[in-house]
Structures are given as C-alpha cells and as structure tokens.
Structure 1
Amino acid sequence: MSPMRGPGGTRPFRTAAGDVVPESVAEVGYCRLGGVDQWVLIRGRNLANPPLIHLHGGPGFSETRLLRHFNADLEDRFTVVYWDQRGAGKSFRRGMPRSSMTVEQFLTDLDDLVDMVCARVGREQVVLHGHSWGSLLGVLYADRHPERVAAYLGTAQIGDAAAAESASYACALAAAEHSGNRRALKALRAIGPPPYPASSVFSERTWLQRLDGQLSPSALWKLRGAVFGGRPESSPLDLINQIRGFRFTMDAMSREASALNLLSAVPALRMPVVFFVGCRDHWVPPATTVAYYDALTAPSKQLLWFDDSGHEPFVDEPATFNRAVVDTVGALITP
C-alpha cells in the first residue's frame, strides 16, 4: 500500500505570557486502530475536562477542517478528539482492502480509539458526537458499549437510513420541480429513487446543494477559511486524499450503510441522548430524525432545533452549536 502522509503538527495552548498551559494537550499522529494506522488529533485546554470524540460523516468525509475552524472553542471545555476514520482524509491510502471497509470493522476501530483516549486522559467514559454517517456508527457503538459512553450527541441523526435517502431524493425532486430546473429534473429522474449506488448519491447531493444555494459564491466564501486556512494540522495538498478517500469509502460502504435501520437495530440506549437538528437539512430530512427520536428509549433525551441550519449546524450556526454542546453535556455529566 502507498505510504501515509505526514500527520502534520498542532499548536500548543499557551498562556498570555507565552508558556504552554499546564495540563493542556495538543497531540497529533497516527494510531494503530483495528490493525491499521489512522490519523488522530487530540486537543484540550485541560485534561480534567470530559473527552469528546467527533465521528465524521460520509462515510469517508473527514470534517476535521470544518470542526477546527468553526468549533475550536469546544477545546476550552472538552478534550476534543478528531479522527479521520479508516479510508478517510489523512487515514486514506491507496491499496486499502475494500473487504476491510465494513461497519463491523469501523466499530472495532472506534473501540480501540475509545480505549486509547480513556487511557490518555485517565477516564473510563467518553462523550460521542456523531454526524450523519457518524451518527449511525455512534449509536451502534453506544448500544454495544454503554459502559464506555457517558452521553451520546447526534447531529443530522439518521434513524432509518433508507427512509432518509428516499426523503432526501423526494426533496431534491420537489426543489427541481418548484424551480423549473429542467437539467436537475432530467438528472434526478435518470438516477431514479434509491436504493442506488454511491455515484447516484453524489449526483443527488450535488443537485440538492445547487438547488438549496449551498454552492453559491457567498456559501463557498464562508468555507474558504476552513478549506485553505493556515492551521498546521492540514495543508491544501490533503484535499486530494480527502476527495479520493471520500469516493473510495462511499463506493465501498454506501450499500451497507444505507441499509441500516436504528429503529429496529437500536430501539433503546442506556445513556443520555441529545439530537441536534438543522431545520433546513435536506440530506437527512428532520422528519426522519424525529421518527427515530420518538421511537428511542433512553434515560433522558433532548431534541434541539437550529432554525438557520442545514445538514451541518456546527458550520451554519457554530456559536449556537458550541454553546448547546457545552450546556447540554455540562448538565448531564460532571468534569
């Protein structure tokens, strides 16, 4: 297999006098997870704070750039763990066996990561935050290892993956009809409703972005700092692996991931649960998230709405999202 790219660096937390903040952590490197080296970044101002592991979406779409740009304030209140999952971002390399790209393998990888993080911070539990595909992975892990998860947070939470895809396709078709966009209608009708292969997922999502205005100049300008910003953890050259990894992982895993149904697979969780829902999310339409929320049994559960957000409230309304995470988790667990 091709060699891994260098992990990059990360700046330490410093006091006003320029000294490294005592008990802070700023570490980046490759960790052996599930027998494969995978990229992990750990940052937090105080190791006494609860560990928070982000599970990015896709599958195969690293969100570290977005999270570090829009949500770095969370590092003041949590020890935040950013993980490029197997086959994604800095963890992608050519020659990775497609046979290893399974939900079961990702659960094993995540279990190794949780063990590593708990040993590093001296804790027995972590807070999991799953976004989109990561919300499937997070719920499945929390169900299997409840003793390791203090609280579960889901953004763009998927319940019945097939129902979410069908609802998303219906949204795209309705938007194309409403706008009278003949090119969009022709393309969407050509791929037909799901289930469909990864190539059709990319097509449907791209048309939705165009119809929603997410590819407008102003929308893309907002992301410029996250994509091209000067953070040492990543460089513009990493964008090549970002695209390659996303396409490889989606092609390898989309069929299995899109068949998952948490309503039947995980009807109950044994830790507090919080779902963050973007009102304008057309990739995981809110009604499908609410259906799972209503069916889910948990010691406590909350549904928080973001009126001005789509699929990524942590990007669309970062300050509101960060405060919601701090407030909800702070009320659920003690440092």
Structure 2
Amino acid sequence: MLLTYRALKRRALAKKLAITTPNGIDESSYVRIGGLDQWISIRGEDLSNPVILEIHGGPGSSNLIFTPRTRAWERHFTIVRWDMRGAGRTFAGSPESQGEPTLDRLYEDALEVTAHIRTRLNVPKVLLLANSFGTVTGLRLARNHPELYSAYVGTDQNIVGGGRDTSSYEALLARLEKAGKKKQLAKMAAIGPDRSAWSAHEWAEYAKTVVTTDPLTYDTMKTVVIRSLWFSPLHTLRDLRTYLKAQTFSEQLGPQAMTIDEHAEGTAFRLPFFLFQGDSDVLTPPDAAHRFYEAVTAPVKDFALIPEASHFASFRHPDQFLDLLLTKVRPVVTGQAVGR
C-alpha cells in the first residue's frame, strides 16, 4: 500500500514538473567537470529569465529532490541544479572516482560549472544561490568573481567564525539539559566547543543532534526533506539509497570548513549581496548571519528573515522565498520589477 501511494504521488509530481512552454528548457546530463562526470540539471519556462546556479548543502545533499517544491521558481528563473562531487547522481555515477573531496576542489569545480552554464545558456553572468553548507563555497565564489555572478543570495547561511562564536553549541547543550537528555548531553559536551578539532564523525553527530532536538527543525526534516526524498519523481529507490551513501561519504568536508574565519576572509563584495535566513534556525543561527551582513560592504545589500522557518527555510516556505527573490533580487539583477 505504501509503495502504491508513493507511485501515485510520484506520477502526479512528474506531471506537475512538465515544462511545455515554447522557450522553456528541461535538460539533465553528465558534464565533464574537474576530470569527473558531474550531473547538471537545467529547468525553466523561459530562457530569457535570469539564470540561477544553486550551490547545494549537506555536504553531499543534492537539491534535485526539492524540484517539485520549487516548481513556481521556474516561471521566473532558469534553475541550474548541480550535484557536486560526492553528492547525488554525480556520486552514483562513479562512487569510486570521486577522489578525496576538499573545499578547494569543490570551488574549482564550481568555477568550471559556471563557465559551462554561461556558455550553454549564452549568458554573461549567473545569479549565485547557495544554501547551508554550500554557502561556504558560495561566499568564496562571490568574493573572488563578481565578473561571473550578477548577485549572491545566501540562505541557511553558514558563518564560520574561526571558533570565536560558540553560541549555537552552547544553545544545544542547554536544550539537551532542559530536556533531560543526559546521554546526548554527555556526548556533545565531550566533543567540546572547538569545531576545528572535531572529527568528521563528531561533526556529523553534532549536526544530527541539533536537527533532532529542535522541534521545528525536526519537523522540517520529516515533512520537507524526508518527504521530498521519498516522493521525488526524479529518484528511484536505488537512487535514494545512493543519496544517503553520498552524504556519509561527504561528511569529511565538514571539519575542513570549521577552520574558516569568514570575517577574516573578507566582508567586501563587489556584487549585490543578499541573505535570507529562517528566523528560528538553530543550525546556522540568523544572529550570526546578520552580524556578518552588517559588516558587509556591497553595491546593494539586503537581509530578510523568513518567519516560522528553521534550517531549509527556502524549501519549507518556497513561495515566501520566491517573493524575496522577485521583490529584492530580480529587480537588481534585471533592472525591472516583477510580480508573481
């Protein structure tokens, strides 16, 4: 019965995803990037719309599963979703050929993907949209290459502060103590607040504990992430197993990012800069994102909180996120106001 319902739901979602407009695009394929065949999807109803290149989070969590939830975005933007090395279909295509993932390698891959998209779609710049762990790479791309990107939009924005800000770690300990979770509290206290000293396993355990002990985040994980994964019309049951294996493989990237100090790397951006954060995000807290935003200099900048949203804010409230893209970002990128 469960598999029958899944099949019916996937069929309905596949119908919803059909793009039939004369100037639309719906193509997916492997492209040789960084010596590895990497999966790139391009979807949109009108090729004259601005092009968004997504840098997904995780690490190792493909955003392809959210395609049905963000279907309305494709009326106003051409959406490029790229499964990074160690993620999704790129990992599934050749698990043994991913190499040792590093932030530097993902950065170089992203530049190659950007060049491919600019050529394939014949556009001078693309709009850079990064979420969660992908914002670490996203900020570096935006700082260093304003000639390639029309604007930067970060959501679930990570601000790694060189180990100075331990507020989210302390909040987790307080939450566990209040809930009487003595075993989890002891485990998290044992790893200590210095994230740069965490192993990949400890980094993953911390993230898992944050997600499962905050009610709103846990509800989002169940109703948005897991549900999107289970009902994705773009993924078979085998694909879902590989999706999870890719996340485990990519955990080794977590500790690499914890050594970064975003403020030291630079707060000067030579392109429009936007941060849209869930107001109740305990994994990448909005206060840290806002402090960074306040320090940023950019030709245009804006910050917005998404109400009743934790992590995965753009996917829990895709219509609200689209409104922010249309009212704050698209007019800056195109010079024209637009409504939904």
TM over 0.5: yes
* SS of equivalent residue, structure 2 residue 19: coil
Deviation at 1:183, TM superposition (A): 2.6
* Partners of 1:329 and 1:121 in 2: CA distance: 20
The answer to whether the 8 Å contact 2:220/2:312 transfers is no
* Partners of 2:297 and 2:163 in 1: CA distance: 20
Deviation at 1:221, TM superposition (A): 4.0
Match of 2:8 in 1: none
Match of 1:212 in 2: 214
Asked whether 1:250 is paired with 2:248, we answer no
Equivalent residues, number:
317
- Segments of 5+ residues of structure 1 without an aligned counterpart are 1-8, 15-20
The answer to whether the 8 Å contact 1:158/1:289 transfers is yes
TM-score of the superposed pair, with normalisation by structure 2: 0.86
* Partners of 1:239 and 1:219 in 2: CA distance: 15
Asked whether 1:13 is paired with 2:13, we answer no
- Segments of 5+ residues of structure 2 without an aligned counterpart are 1-13
* Partners of 1:254 and 1:329 in 2: CA distance: 30
* Partners of 2:323 and 2:137 in 1: CA distance: 24
Deviation sequence 1:265-300 (CA, Å, 0-9, x none):
122111111101111111111221112111111111
Task: Give the letter for the 2:303 counterpart.
Answer: L
Match of 1:264 in 2: 264
* Partners of 1:298 and 1:127 in 2: CA distance: 15
Task: Give the letter for the 2:297 counterpart.
Answer: T
Go from structure 1 to structure 2 and tell me whether the alpha carbon gap of 1:107 and 1:301 turns closer, same or farther (over 3 Å shift).
Answer: same
* Partners of 1:30 and 1:140 in 2: CA distance: 25
Match of 2:4 in 1: none
Task: Give the letter for the 1:136 counterpart.
Answer: V
Deviation sequence 1:99-134 (CA, Å, 0-9, x none):
4x2222212211111111111221100000011221
Deviation at 1:137, TM superposition (A): 0.8
Task: Give the letter for the 1:201 counterpart.
Answer: W
State the 4+ residue runs in structure 1 displaced beyond 6 angstroms. none
Please list, as runs of the form range in 1=range in 2, the aligned pairs for 1:194-213 lying within 5 A after superposition: 194-195=194-195, 196-213=198-215
Moved more, 124-133 or 182-191: 182-191
* Partners of 1:319 and 1:28 in 2: CA distance: 25
Task: Give the letter for the 1:197 counterpart.
Answer: S
* Partners of 1:219 and 1:141 in 2: CA distance: 28
Match of 1:75 in 2: 74
Task: Give the letter for the 1:180 counterpart.
Answer: G
* Partners of 1:313 and 1:218 in 2: CA distance: 9
Moved more, 305-314 or 221-230: 221-230
The answer to whether the 8 Å contact 2:216/2:309 transfers is no
RMSD: 2.2
* Partners of 2:313 and 2:237 in 1: CA distance: 24
The answer to whether the 8 Å contact 1:159/1:291 transfers is no
TM-score of the superposed pair, with normalisation by structure 1: 0.88
Please list, as runs of the form range in 1=range in 2, the aligned pairs for 1:103-114 lying within 5 A after superposition: 103-114=103-114
Go from structure 1 to structure 2 and tell me whether the alpha carbon gap of 1:213 and 1:110 turns closer, same or farther (over 3 Å shift).
Answer: same
* Partners of 1:306 and 1:24 in 2: CA distance: 30
Please list, as runs of the form range in 1=range in 2, the aligned pairs for 1:38-187 lying within 5 A after superposition: 38-66=38-66, 68-92=67-91, 93-96=94-97, 98-99=99-100, 101-163=101-163, 166-187=166-187
Deviation at 1:180, TM superposition (A): 2.1
Task: Give the letter for the 1:234 counterpart.
Answer: H
* SS of equivalent residue, structure 2 residue 237: coil
* Partners of 1:264 and 1:52 in 2: CA distance: 28
Match of 2:7 in 1: none
Deviation at 1:240, TM superposition (A): 1.8
The answer to whether the 8 Å contact 1:87/1:96 transfers is no
The answer to whether the 8 Å contact 1:279/1:306 transfers is yes
The answer to whether the 8 Å contact 1:165/1:284 transfers is no
* Partners of 2:223 and 2:154 in 1: CA distance: 27
Deviation sequence 1:174-193 (CA, Å, 0-9, x none):
11112222232122123332
Task: Give the letter for the 1:13 counterpart.
Answer: I
* Partners of 1:27 and 1:176 in 2: CA distance: 46
* SS of equivalent residue, structure 1 residue 282: coil
Counting aligned pairs with the same residue, the percent is 27
Go from structure 1 to structure 2 and tell me whether the alpha carbon gap of 1:272 and 1:204 turns closer, same or farther (over 3 Å shift).
Answer: same
Go from structure 1 to structure 2 and tell me whether the alpha carbon gap of 1:96 and 1:166 turns closer, same or farther (over 3 Å shift).
Answer: farther
Deviation at 1:201, TM superposition (A): 1.8
Deviation at 1:98, TM superposition (A): 4.3
Go from structure 1 to structure 2 and tell me whether the alpha carbon gap of 1:140 and 1:216 turns closer, same or farther (over 3 Å shift).
Answer: closer
* Partners of 1:307 and 1:162 in 2: CA distance: 29
Deviation sequence 1:71-106 (CA, Å, 0-9, x none):
12111101100111111111113323544x222221
* Partners of 1:283 and 1:118 in 2: CA distance: 33
* Partners of 1:200 and 1:224 in 2: CA distance: 23
Moved more, 145-154 or 179-188: 179-188
